[in-house]
Structure 1
Amino acid sequence: MTVVQRWTLAVVCTATAILMLDIAVVNTALPSIGEDLDTGIGGLQWVVDTYTLALAAVVLTAGSLADRFGRRRVFASGLVVFTVASGACAAADSIELLHAARAVQGLGAALLFATSLALLADAFPDERQRTAALAAYGATIGASFAIGPAVGGVLTTALGWRWVFLVNIPIGVAALAVTLRQVRESRDPRAPRVDVPGLLSLTSGLFLLVFGLLRGNEDGWGSGVIVAALAGAAALLVAFVVIEARSTHPMLPLALLRSRAFTGAQLTAFAISGSFFAIYLYCSIYLQNVLGLSAIEAGLVFVPSTLVMVVVSGATAQLSQRVHPGVLVSGGLLLVAAGMAMLTVAQVDSSWVVLLPGITVALIGTGLFNPSVSAVALNSVPAEQSGLAAGINDTFRQAGIAIGVAGLGALIPTGDLLRGGSAGDYVNGMHTALLAGAVLAASGAIAGALLIRRRDAEELSTPANVAFDAD
């Protein structure tokens, strides 16, 4: 591995770590944020969803900009925006200001996510080296999301919730310095123009969908506001597909979906994000506000299983040389589904120990899934379109979290646990959400098995075989 490759891998994994930590770390800090800024579960859900919605809506456009103007340049810009917004989050003195700062932070995260895999693809053209780099990248995603609750617990308990954002600042500054000095610039000379109609329809559609799901219990599912929001979301998302089909420079070229493997990668990424990654918020509230654990104790619950997942992610790099990635993707999602179902043993008077088996099984599945799905997403499109492919994959991931947080939260009773609601009702609703998440993960496993098949192995190993016109 060359010096440039080492630094590129290091800075991409570092940036990815702080991005994923800013989803997971916040989960543990949410009860403290709610108490300090005087908000309930609804306000806390938006702390997660403003970030993930901004990321999901903009990451495709960011990928296009990166391919056109330079992936290193866009990556560096993302570090600046993300770091400054992290300071604004830490300084917020109301839940509304925190929501706004989180949205800007999500925009910076979109620039980083859209370029991360593309930078790796350019730095590691050799298939074997790229596989190892993607394994490290996948392990970073899984480990950061899993250890995030522990890190958030330590920072929240020792220093206060604002430090879960302040810690990003020195890391972001250091990553920016390395990027400007060590990372190689790359771009796609055939990159399309920015698809403004597609961006607006996707952003508006996702926002209305999440808004409707989050407010449905409070306003009533038959209320005019909720019906209008969900109907508008459906219309705008359909319009997005129509726009992309007719556009001469779509942000999501539908021809990409002719690759069964590429489509499978997106559906499975959505499935794991909308199920296991989305349930973290509600598990954190359960641990702190039902079982009475401190923030640091709640975070440490996830540490043993995380260590297992890191080992599995590393082993997946070797396993992928002998096992088709579709098997690893589907098998990983089945384990996630099983783990989520196992978490339903949690009761109002349980010990936190009862969660360990389910968390461990789900994180073993995550360790198999993450490196494999990243490899499928990149290797099933031409190398020069890696920025676009990375953006599409991250759109499905982050949209999955945003919709999952809203959708699973809609299954939890309207009584706000943080404002005197029933712990028993909350736990029963959490059981329903866990089972719904397990069904989503299992459905993703089936989709992966059907779409990422063995006979597509040649396609996955020779990405140039997938041809389409993105101009």
Structure 2
Amino acid sequence: MTTNAASHDPTTHRTGAGWTLTAVAIATFMLMLDLTVVNVALADIRADFDSDFTALQWILDAYALGLAAVLLAAGSLADRIGRRRVFQAGMVVFTIASLACGLATGDPMLIAARFAQGLGGAVLFAVGPALLGHEFRGRARGQAFGVFGAVVGLAIAFGPLIGGALTEALSWRWIFLVNVPFAVLALAIGRWRMRESRDPSAPSVDWAGMASFSAALFFLVFALMRGESAGWTSVSVVGSFSASAALLVVFAVVQRRLGPAAMFDPALLRNRTFNGLSIVATLSAMSVMPALFLLISYVRNVLSYPAFASGVRFLPLTLTLFAAAVVAGMLTARAAPGPLVGLSQLLIALGLGAVLLVDESTGWTALIPAMVAIGFGMGLFNPPRAAIAIAVTTPGKAGMASGINETMQQTGMAIGVAAFGAVFHARVVAAFGETQLAAQIGDRQQEAAEAIAVGAGQQVVDAVPGFLTAAATDATRTAFITALHEVLLGAAALAALAAVVAVCTIRRGDMDESALAAPGVPVEPAPEPGPAVSAP
């Protein structure tokens, strides 16, 4: 790659790398925070907007839908026209969308702004790891991705805590507005401290490929998210699956015709480590993300802790995740990648299985073994996952490779939430039907079971006559915990399968030589069009 003169200065390089890591860390924390922070504020949003259940689902789903749709397209575009430029554009979209969320006047505006947040977030998530990959090498790269992984995990774990604190102290609107000053800071860093990089040999932008693949992902994730509520055989769901399949065919035809100019490099499909990591990322997201949502719902809605208190009780997961991510950052450049990733998934599987320690009579402390194991597993997984995703190809294609891996993770999350959500719903209904209370309330049995499945069990307790209060409390807990056990055992099986795949497929020999360079070796980015911009 060509570069401007300032890029040859090692001091300049180290300074630029540090600022890049700071900007990527800020962006990543905001993105992952917005996956979980909304959950604890839904009750307040519902009270303000008089939202129905469908609207609340869309407030959650719209963000993930936008996030999943354009990850690959954003990564490929960044490789071609400049990663810093695309990162900045994504940050602008995310900032404006966050402001719109905080100022929303009703459900439609909030849902639309959440979707726009997801689109901006997808750009940041796809480009962030590629920016780090171009600034760091060897052991320094492992440390950088250790920070990246810690930030991902901390945002997920701290989401309920931060959301609860802001909602109780100020308003639910501040869970979105708090993004704005941090996003402005990241924009300033990107403008004046981040170096540009891109693939100078990249062909022109593959707009047809980007459009067809993004639309295919949109319809796929939409169908997965809406299948349970709309019905898997409904016109909208079947039509979305069909549209996704047709658009994927169009994408394949476009890529074949374009050859070297295509946005997707088919050579990656011949890399065993890349394929293995993609499978592991999908299975891991399918298992752990639905589990976290259900565990948050259990503490918040079944044990009836307030929002902030619920977040405090997830500190065992938060602290162990942070510690493990720091360790993983040091191990990423040293340890064999397959066993390291495999260990992370095994720990997640053990943690999910440890939920069996919870029963109708236990308090939140029964979750501590599960939280500790899940936290260590997630912390060990995120740094090597992000580092390996870009290590299997040349630096010029890092954005595309990162985008594919993030796409697999987000798609896995959508599949997991849809599939395990459907199973959980069905098992709650079945378990509640076997309780004595179900027979006593007669025609209201189905309505009560539906309420328990969505975390509104207290409404069931409040609705029954006083002499049935104790029975209603027992029945709601029994139904929820029975379903929780069954679903999380299924999730544990997926995590265990991911561990086996990781050990059997991921190997250092499949990585590009640039990923194995000695730490501190400067990377020479291509100059951006117009005046050269370098770190001072």
TM-score by length of 1: 0.90
Q: Which residue of 1 aligns with 2:496?
A: 442
Letter in 2 for 1:86: S
Q: Which residue of 2 aligns with 1:106?
A: 118
1:161 has 2:172 as partner: yes
The 1:32–1:339 alpha-carbon spacing in structure 2 relative to 1, beyond 3 Å, is farther
Give the superposition deviation at 1:16: 0.9
Letter in 2 for 1:106: G
Q: Which residue of 2 aligns with 1:394?
A: 406
**TM alignment of 1:69-468, pairs within 5 A:** 69-124=81-136, 126-237=137-248, 240-241=251-252, 243-248=254-259, 249-347=261-359, 350-413=362-425, 415-416=450-451, 417=454, 420=459, 424-453=478-507, 457-460=508-511, 462-463=513-514
Give the superposition deviation at 1:183: 0.6
The 1:74–1:280 alpha-carbon spacing in structure 2 relative to 1, beyond 3 Å, is same
Q: What is the CA–CA distance in structure 2 between the aligned matches of 1:250 and 1:279, rounded to whole Å? A: 37
The 1:242–1:295 alpha-carbon spacing in structure 2 relative to 1, beyond 3 Å, is farther
Q: What is the CA–CA distance in structure 1 between the aligned matches of 2:310 and 2:56, rounded to whole Å? A: 17
1:65 equivalent among 77, 81, 86: 77
Asked if structure 2 preserves the Cα contact closer than 8 Å seen for 1:47 and 1:98, the reply is yes
Q: What is the CA–CA distance in structure 2 between the aligned matches of 1:304 and 1:298, rounded to whole Å? A: 12
> Alpha-carbon deviations, 1:173-201, whole Å to 9, x = none?
11111111111111112334444444444
Q: 59-68 vs 100-109, which deviates more?
A: 59-68
Give the superposition deviation at 1:40: 5.3
Q: 237-246 vs 346-355, which deviates more?
A: 237-246
Q: 392-401 vs 158-167, which deviates more?
A: 392-401
Q: What is the CA–CA distance in structure 1 between the aligned matches of 2:503 and 2:292, rounded to whole Å? A: 26
Give the superposition deviation at 1:226: 4.1
1:36 equivalent among 40, 48, 53: 48
Q: 221-230 vs 18-27, which deviates more?
A: 221-230
Q: What is the CA–CA distance in structure 2 between the aligned matches of 1:238 and 1:378, rounded to whole Å? A: 26
Asked if structure 2 preserves the Cα contact closer than 8 Å seen for 1:49 and 1:405, the reply is no
Instruction: Report runs of 4+ in structure 1 exceeding 6 Å deviation.
Output: none
1:29 alignment partner, SS class: helix
Q: What is the CA–CA distance in structure 2 between the aligned matches of 1:79 and 1:189, rounded to whole Å? A: 24
Q: Which residue of 1 aligns with 2:442?
A: none
> Alpha-carbon deviations, 1:321-366, whole Å to 9, x = none?
4420111111101111221122244445541211121111011011
Q: Which residue of 2 aligns with 1:468?
A: none
Q: What is the CA–CA distance in structure 1 between the aligned matches of 2:47 and 2:424, rounded to whole Å? A: 20
Letter in 2 for 1:131: G
Q: Identity over the aligned pairs, expressed in percent?
A: 42
Letter in 1 for 2:23: V
Q: What is the CA–CA distance in structure 2 between the aligned matches of 1:251 and 1:431, rounded to whole Å? A: 43
Q: Which residue of 1 aligns with 2:446?
A: none
Asked if structure 1 preserves the Cα contact closer than 8 Å seen for 2:129 and 2:387, the reply is no
Asked if structure 2 preserves the Cα contact closer than 8 Å seen for 1:291 and 1:349, the reply is no
Asked if structure 2 preserves the Cα contact closer than 8 Å seen for 1:198 and 1:244, the reply is yes
For structure 2, the 5+ residue unaligned runs are 1-10, 427-449, 461-475, 517-536
2:393 alignment partner, SS class: coil
Letter in 2 for 1:380: V
Asked if structure 1 preserves the Cα contact closer than 8 Å seen for 2:344 and 2:380, the reply is yes
2:60 equivalent among 48, 52, 57: 48
1:18 has 2:30 as partner: yes
> Alpha-carbon deviations, 1:86-143, whole Å to 9, x = none?
011112233332221111011111221122112112222x312112111111111112
Q: What is the CA–CA distance in structure 2 between the aligned matches of 1:204 and 1:20, rounded to whole Å? A: 23
Asked if structure 2 preserves the Cα contact closer than 8 Å seen for 1:325 and 1:373, the reply is no
RMSD (Å), alpha carbons? 2.5
Q: 298-307 vs 194-203, which deviates more?
A: 194-203
Q: 267-276 vs 191-200, which deviates more?
A: 191-200
Q: 254-263 vs 167-176, which deviates more?
A: 254-263
Q: What is the CA–CA distance in structure 1 between the aligned matches of 2:499 and 2:54, rounded to whole Å? A: 31
Q: What is the CA–CA distance in structure 2 between the aligned matches of 1:402 and 1:223, rounded to whole Å? A: 19
Q: Which residue of 2 aligns with 1:469?
A: none
Q: How many residues align?
A: 461
The 1:195–1:431 alpha-carbon spacing in structure 2 relative to 1, beyond 3 Å, is farther
For structure 1, the 5+ residue unaligned runs are 466-471
> Alpha-carbon deviations, 1:256-287, whole Å to 9, x = none?
12111111222212222222123333322222
Asked if structure 2 preserves the Cα contact closer than 8 Å seen for 1:25 and 1:149, the reply is yes
Asked if structure 2 preserves the Cα contact closer than 8 Å seen for 1:413 and 1:426, the reply is no
Letter in 1 for 2:500: I
> Alpha-carbon deviations, 1:202-244, whole Å to 9, x = none?
4444444444444444444445554444455455446545554
Q: What is the CA–CA distance in structure 2 between the aligned matches of 1:39 and 1:283, rounded to whole Å? A: 24
Q: Which residue of 1 aligns with 2:17?
A: 5
Letter in 2 for 1:394: E
